[in-house]
Amino acid sequence: MKTLNVPLGDRSYPIFIGNALFAATGALDAYIPGDEVLVVTNETVAPLYLDGLLSSLTRSKVDSLILPDGEKYKTLGTVELIYNELLAKRHSRETTLIALGGGVVGDMTGFAAATYQRGVNFLQVPTTLLSQVDSSVGGKTGVNHPLGKNMVGAFYQPLAVFADMATLATLPDREYRAGVAEVVKYGLIGDLEFYQWIIENTESINARSEAALEEMVYRSCQNKGDVVARDERESNVRATLNLGHTFGHAIEAVEGYRGLLHGEAVAVGMFMAAEMSRRLGWLTSDEVSALGRLLESLGLPTSVPAAMTPENFLNAMALDKKVSKGTVRLVLLKSVGQAVITGDYPEEILRETISVFCNQAVVF
């Protein structure tokens, strides 16, 4: 087992990375302050891991709630189901919520924890690669609104994160590859050595080798933890973690969160950001082409869905949280391994980039 620490003063917490982390009785006990627990999961994860987690908990009051699975259920209405369960089972301010599942479960459970009786404790037990390398770390919680992704939420840190590699064995291939997109992101924005490692280990990554999985999760959490420690509430450098996300969120919103998976949309968005960076003179054609080939070798998309038009793309981007004074602030690449947050670009370059992709003109 490997352990990382997210250093946030009195809100610092550990990330445990290993196999069968919650199989042993009492494994999570040190991070459950009170005697009340509600485990929140979904209908896909519950048959696989809920009983095992419940049997490991030693608290006298342990309840569980199974939510429907899917990004389309990441809504205030679904969070209300968590509140209903907490109130119906008479959970007090001493309760601890445990999020057992992927990013959707983690985001909603964290938001419920941040807001139930003005804040209760919670733990993250992420079961997808995407949630292990990204959403479970850093304290971003929330839900989607029909007009925009993650528009309602709060910064609220967990007491600990348990990234169990064993749960990745049951992860469907498409979900796994969607998580790999976020792994690539860390290399692109600030860890060139890691980016080269990903290129050199594509075969092992695709094969889900134990060594590759552990290295991916560890290096990704290390990168994210370092950024969060410097900028917890995303006032500056933390925004670089959104590489590809503004483009990707627009795709998700237009498709009503029923098309590309989040990581798939981010992969397309990163490729779009790289192409826009090329048009600004920051990346070479060879670097953009190499990224496209890498994404495709990892089974990730590089073209936008047919539903996307320049008009609906721009309209969706205009509703993004990162819009400031009417300008969409984008994360772009000054070079491979160096991200920049900027709203200072010619609008026609953004429009050209979107138009190229909407016309299905693949760059590489």
| Residues acting as catalytic residues | 118, 140, 182, 224, 234, 238, 242, 245, 249, 262
**Helix 262-279 vs helix 245-254: angle between axes, to the nearest 10 degrees?**
130
Whether the Cβ atoms of residue 142 and residue 107 lie closer than 8 Å to each other: yes
Residue 98 contacts by C-beta under 8 Å, 6 or more apart in sequence? 28, 37, 38, 39, 40, 53, 109, 122, 123, 125
DSSP string computed for 201-244: THHHHHTT-HHHHHHHHHHHHHHHHHHHHH-TT-SSGGGGGGTT
287 CA to centre of own chain: 25
For the record, the structure tokens of 89 come out as: 């089972």
Q: Of 296, 303, 289, 292, which is closest to residue 260 (Cα–Cα)? A: 303
Residue with tokens 């450098």: 237
Q: Which amino acid, one-letter code, is at 326? A: G
Helix (H) or strand (E) holding 185: helix 173-190
Q: Of 175, 135, 231, 168, which is closest to residue 20 (Cα–Cα)? A: 168
What's the CA gap between 252 and 254, in Å, rounded? 6
What's the CA gap between 272 and 363, in Å, rounded? 10
